[in-house]
């Protein structure tokens, strides 16, 4: 026991780093165990969209949404999601699919929606990168984007 104390005193930076990493790992495990939203692959998301009254919410910024988005998706940027919950409150008991560019912002949005009482929240794994590049699923390009491209030619 004396050697452990001596090691900690001699290597306090390493000991502190170990304590911080351990804390973060435990916090991540607890968050994962108690999360109330699910991850869903793009293919299963398409099946869910075809079978039920599913709402697709894109939490990317408007300029990203204009470039390409899932058909029938609505755009609510992550920063405004808490303020704009009234737009989607009627889907509280229906499936809600969340997407962003890579899946990170959608996970944050999943936490917000589950705290607001939404029952069926799904985060599309890999976001729009997986939707377009990996699975080659169709996207809609807004008229604004088409206009910008055609005017620059």
**What is the per-residue pLDDT across 14-27, written as a single tens digit (0 to 9) for each?**
999 999 999 999 99
Instruction: Classify residue 124 by burial, with Cβ atoms within 10 Å: 0-12, 13-18, 19+.
Output: buried
> Is the pLDDT confidence value at 75 over 70?
yes
> Is the pLDDT confidence value at 146 over 90?
no
**In whole numbers, what is the pLDDT of the chain averaged over residues?**
90
Model pLDDT, residue 144:
59
Which residues pair with residue 39 across a beta bridge? Answer: 123
List of residues 6+ apart from 131 with CB closer than 8 A: 42, 70, 99, 124, 137, 139
> Is the pLDDT confidence value at 71 over 50?
yes
Model pLDDT, residue 147:
37
> Is the pLDDT confidence value at 151 over 70?
no
**Contact (CB, 8 A) for 95 and 124:** no
- Which pLDDT band, with edges at 50, 70 and 90, does 52 fall under? confident
pTM of the model: 0.77
- Which pLDDT band, with edges at 50, 70 and 90, does 93 fall under? very high
Model pLDDT, residue 143:
67
Please state, in angstroms and rounded to a whole number, the distance separating the CA atoms of residues 96 and 53. 9
Model pLDDT, residue 153:
38
Q: Tell me the H-state helices in the chain.
A: 2-10, 12-34, 42-51, 62-67, 104-115, 127-129, 143-152
What would the mean pLDDT of 1-7 be, rounded to a whole number?
92
> Is the pLDDT confidence value at 104 over 80?
yes
List of residues 6+ apart from 85 with CB closer than 8 A: 113, 116
**Contact (CB, 8 A) for 70 and 56:** yes
Query: Tokens in use for 15?
Result: 């000991």
**Contact (CB, 8 A) for 49 and 43:** no
Which residues pair with residue 74 across a beta bridge? Answer: 57
């Amino acid at each position: 026991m004396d050697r452990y104390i001596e090691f900690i005193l001699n290597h306090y930076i390493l000991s502190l780093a170990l304590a911080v990493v351990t804390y973060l790992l435990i916090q991540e495990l607890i968050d994962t165990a108690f999360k109330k939203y699910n991850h869903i692959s793009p293919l299963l998301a398409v099946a869910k969209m075809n079978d039920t009254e599913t709402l697709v919410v894109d939490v990317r910024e408007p300029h990203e949404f204009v470039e390409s988005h899932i058909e029938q998706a609505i755009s609510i940027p992550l920063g405004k999601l808490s303020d704009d919950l009234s737009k989607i409150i009627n889907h509280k008991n229906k499936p809600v699919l969340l997407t962003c560019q890579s899946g990170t912002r959608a996970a944050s949005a999943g936490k917000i929606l589950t705290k607001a009482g939404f029952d069926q929240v799904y985060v599309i794994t890999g976001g729009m990168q997986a939707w377009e590049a990996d699975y080659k699923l169709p996207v809609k390009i807004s008229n604004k984007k088409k206009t910008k491209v055609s005017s620059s030619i």
